[in-house]
Amino acid sequence: MRVLLSTIGSRGDVQPLVALGLALRALGEEVRLCVPPDFREWIEELGLPVTPIGPELRSTGRARPDAAPPTLEQRRQMLEGMVAAQFETIAAAAEGCDVIVGATVLQIAAPSVAERMGIPYVFAAYCPAVLPSPHHAPPVLGMLGDTPAAADADLAELWAKDARRTSDTWGALLNARRAGLGLTPVADVRGHILTDRPWLAADGTLAPWPDPADPHVFQPGAWILRDERPLAPEIEAFLDAGEPPIYFGFGSIRAPHDLGQVIVESARAHGRRAIVLRGWAELSVADDAADCLVIGEVNQQALFRRVGAVVHHGGAGTTTAAALSGAPQVVVPQMYDQHYWARRVDDLGIGTAHAPGAPTAASLTRALERALQPDVRTRARTVAAAVRTDGADVAARRLIAT
Secondary structure element (H or E) that encloses residue 296, with its range: none
Q: Tell me which residues of the chain have a pLDDT lower than 50.
A: 61-63
pLDDT in tens, 261-290: 888 899 999 999 999 998 766 776 766 678
Cβ-based neighbour number of residue 41 at 10 Å: 9
Distance between CA atoms of 224 and 389, rounded to whole angstroms?
A: 6
**What distance lies between CA 113 and its chain's CA centroid?**
24
Q: What is the pLDDT of residue 315?
A: 93
Which amino acid does the sequence have at 155?
A: L
For the chain, state the CA radius of gyration.
Answer: 21
Distance between CA atoms of 16 and 391, rounded to whole angstroms?
A: 10
Could you tell me the CA-to-CA distances from 396 to 20, 26, 348, 380 in Å, in that order?
6, 9, 29, 29
Q: Give yes or no for a contact between 277 and 283, defined as CB atoms under 8 angstroms apart.
A: yes
Distance between CA atoms of 27 and 333, rounded to whole angstroms?
A: 37
Q: What is the pLDDT of residue 63?
A: 47
**What distance lies between CA 260 and its chain's CA centroid?**
23
**In order of start, what are the domains of the chain with their CATH numbers?**
2-222+389-400 (3.40.50.2000), 233-384 (3.40.50.2000)
Q: Comparing C-alpha atoms, which of 50, 179, 114 is closest to residue 123?
A: 114
Q: What is the pLDDT of residue 287?
A: 64
Q: What is the pLDDT of residue 68?
A: 65
Q: What is the pLDDT of residue 145?
A: 60
Cβ-based neighbour number of residue 201 at 10 Å: 28
Adjacent-strand bridge partners of 247: 275, 310
Q: Residue 195: phi, psi to the nearest 5?
A: 65, 175
Q: What is the pLDDT of residue 285?
A: 74
